A and B are shown apart, each in its own frame.
Chain A
Amino acid sequence: MYKILKACNLASNIFLMDVEARRIAKACEPGQFVIVRIDERGERIPLTICDYDREKGTITIVVQTIGASTTRMQKLQTGDYFMDFVGPLGRPSDFVHEDIESLKGKKMLFVGGGLGTAPVYPQVKWLHEHGIDADVIIGAKTKDLVILEEEMKAVAGNLYVTTDDGSYQRAGMVTEVIKDLVNNEGRTYDVCVAIGPMIMMKFVCLLTKELGIPTIVSMNPIMVDGTGMCGACRLLVGGEVKFACVDGPEFDGHLVDFDQAMKRQNLYKTEEGRALLAEQEGSTHHGGCNNCGGDR
């Protein structure tokens, strides 16, 4: 069992938890993820590591409620336990193993879209701790969904926040900010790291390809075991089949087949939706969702 030492909401449907997991806190690096199971009946949910404290032995996760399991997870409080918490899984971000001096000569741009801000944070923090300040763009649908702004400000070089509806700071998509920085402010970047919804990563990659900025994305597809066993997380990268769990989760964004990945992501959408409905409606759920067959 893995104790939740802190649980709080960052937005109405986004929450943060510090979880005691000593082995993982000791071994993890930025870019890696964990798999979490609430209880005996829960799914195995892959979540990117948002922060870690090697001394305290804790891992920070940030979760958005999207299905039955994550809705159930949000109900957990400080002092509750996760049944299972395994990791660190996947490969660390490439820069972790790069030569620090050559890394210092690089201009890096991080783009976090929505929940994607959470996995961007430990990377920017790691760089900051190694004397490198990277520029960061945080994008969100609206003001209330901007997360980790203060934390990011403390470790980033320049921080730009943009909201789709213009309710906070800049208005528009993250791609608008990138264009603005490069075309109007004359900034140059040697590498861009974009993490967020697949559709955002796709459009960032289309833009950065045009601008000639190598771009790394973090993929979080359907997964079961997270150790290379099930193959559910397979993606096409440069025409080759890769497993996000062991070959990734970070890939060269200019080589990822996003259209195919987005189609695969829909695989369990209906079933997840079904489970969510059943959870919300409880014993009053008698079908009507066109999925569960409860009315048949």
Chain B
Amino acid sequence: MDVLKKVPVREQDPKVRATNFDEVCLGYNESEAKEEASRCLTCMNAQCVKACPVNIDIPGFIKEIKEGNFEEAGYVIGKSSALPAICGRVCPQESQCEGKCIRGIKGEPVSIGKLERFVADYAMAKGIKPKKSTESNGRKVAIIGSGPAGLTCAGDLAKMGYDVTIFEALHEAGGVLVYGIPEFRLPKDAVVKKEIENVIALGVKIETNVVIGKSVTIDDLMEKEGFEAVFIGSGAGLPKFMGIPGETASGVFSANEYLTRNNLMKAFKDDYDTPIRPGKKVAVVGGGNVAMDAARTALRLGAEVTIVYRRSEEELPARVEEVHHAKEEGIIFNLLTNPTEILVDENGWVCGMKCIKMELGEPDESGRRSPVEIPGSEFTIDVDTVIMSLGTSPNPLISSTTKGLDTNRRKCIVANEESGATSKPGVFAGGDAVTGAATVILAMGAGKTAAKGIDEYLRAK
């Protein structure tokens, strides 16, 4: 064993997985997990813990793995995180815990994400459930949105004894974990549903099909339904479009629509009614994780897929692992390229996309070098489907129907970083609804902070 390298994780062969929706990464088995765990130096002043948005005791749980106490390892993680099987799969560990691992200075960091996943999957397979709080304090808290922020906040509050109800607008709980992230990266029945069941096991109630701001307002929840505090974790669900000609043509989708049809509505399964038009030649515009998810979904539905991104590979906002997987599966990358027009046939369908070549100029306010068009470099690519994956912004449904709730110019809800408190007394917020589109784990961190903030607020009340 090379102690400088991670124990490799088994994955489905790229050629095989390009045609199915089964999970790509197969995870560690017991002996692989123990071997990888043995690489951990059990630092006293562990940097990885500080880099984790929910401060999991990483050396603590890895120590249990080393000793073969897998169940105990699960309890150590459970103290800080309600969704370890999910985080082990979708957290950007390379820029968080693993990014700070001392092993990483000389060699590869400890594969913390894969170890977390192993522990969570072990507990799930053994049917180990978290314990319900025995002491209920009878005080009602409403959580809006059942994504990572809401589930975490709900779980933490339930553990403290609060009577928690989550309101979800869609027909299934999970938010972006269910509608956004594809099955092959995050299995829905085997992982997401199970972790949500664990949150329910803590005593949390989930009411689906309730659109806050439409079915009922926050004011009504507080004044008429007896909720003493509300947490808004409604995410950033509003898709952006480029505003170029041809964008309303048939065959142009937001990544949200394409992914929702496939993930939440299971269009890829023959026995579901949901229609999807997979496309034969698909262009995905954008370079984030969502773009990779949309591209790899289209590929699995049988399309030839090109990613069109205006900056270079170095600036791709997607996780390195996702880009690597996409390339392995045969996604074509058309970098330093920007669409200028979607070409439409006489029936209103997409029949091509006009693009222009870009070069990188001076760094912009985000610190990334901003792309500049190269004059005269226009060309057309042959596509029948275009998926726009340009990022999302928070949905104004709640902020526009709640009096006294401040938002900033990006339509994000303004919330205190330390407590999650908003401008409206008793109302807290966190996750993408506050930050704009970010990651699962940052949303969980915000949910955790807000749970503490709500507890302090209600104790003082």
On chain A, the residues within 8 Å of B211 by CB distance are: 86-87, 89, 227
User: CB-CB < 8 A to B273: which residues of A?
Assistant: 41-43, 68-69, 72, 275
Query: Which one of A27, A87, A225, A272 has the highest number of Cβ atoms from chain B below 10 Å of its Cβ?
Result: A225
Count of residues in B whose CB is under 8 Å from the partner chain: 41
Q: Please name all residues of chain B whose beta carbon is closer than 8 Å to the beta carbon of A83 when the two chains form the complex.
A: 171
Cα distance A24–B215 in the bound complex, in angstroms:
6
The answer to whether B171 touches A37, judged by C-beta atoms less than 8 angstroms apart, is yes
> A267 contacts B272, CB within 8 Å?
no
Interface of B is mostly: loop
Give the residue name and chain of the A residue nearest to B258 (CB).
Answer: A230
Taken residue by residue from 226 to 264, chain A's Cβ proximity to chain B (1 for < 8 Å, 0 otherwise) reads as: 011111101110000100001000000000000010011
In the assembled complex, the CB of B180 is this many whole angstroms from the nearest CB of chain A, namely 10
Is B169 a contact partner of A88 (Cβ separation < 8 A)? no
B238–A228 contact, CB under 8 A?
Answer: yes
Scoring A37, A68, A224, A232 by chain B CB atoms within 10 A of each residue's CB, the highest score goes to: A224
Asked if A144 is at the interface (CB within 8 A of a chain B CB), the reply is no
A153-B257 Cα distance, complex, nearest whole Å: 41
B275 lies within 8 A of chain A by Cβ: yes
* Bound-complex Cα distance A264 to B275 (A): 14
Instruction: Tally A-B pairs: CB < 8 A.
Output: 118
Q: How far is the CB of B249 from chain A (nearest CB, A)?
A: 8
CA distance A271 to B267 in the complex (A): 11
Which of B225-244 touch A at CB < 8 Å? Answer: 237-239, 241, 243
Closest to A273 in B: B275
Q: Which of A43, A89, A236 contacts B265 (CB 8 A)?
A: A43
Interface residue? B338 (CB, 8 A) = no
Question: When the two chains form the complex, which single residue of B171, B214, B238, B272 contacts A229, counting CB atoms closer than 8 Å?
Answer: B238
- Whether A267 lies near B277 (C-beta < 8 A) is yes
Determine if A53 is an interface residue (Cβ-Cβ < 8 Å): no
- Chain A residues contacting B249 (CB-CB under 8 Å) are 263-264
- For A234, the closest partner residue in chain B by CB is B248
Query: For residue B207, which residue of chain A has the nearest CB?
Result: A23
Partner of A230, one of B215, B256, B266: B256
Known interface pairs A86-B209, A224-B257, A231-B256. Does A263 touch B250 (Cβ–Cβ under 8 Å)? yes
Task: Give chain A interface residues in 30-83, CB to chain B under 8 Å.
Answer: 37, 41-44, 68-69, 72, 83
Contact between B254 and A230, CB atoms less than 8 A apart = yes
Complex CA–CA separation, A260 to B344 (angstroms)? 11
Is A230 a contact partner of B248 (Cβ separation < 8 A)?
no
Chain B residues within 8 Å of A232, by CB: 253-254, 257
Tell me which residues across on chain A come within 8 A of B247, comparing CB atoms: 241
B260 interfacial by beta-carbon distance below 8 Å: yes
Which A residues form the contact surface with B (CB < 8 A)?
23-24, 26-27, 37, 41-44, 68-69, 72, 83-89, 224-225, 227-232, 234-236, 241, 246, 260, 263-264, 266-268, 271-272, 274-275
A-B pairs with lowest CB-CB distance, top 7 = A263-B348, A271-B275, A230-B257, A86-B209, A231-B254, A84-B171, A229-B237
Chain A to chain B contacts (Cβ below 8 Å), 8 pairs = A24-B215, A84-B208, A225-B260, A228-B238, A231-B254, A232-B257, A260-B248, A271-B277
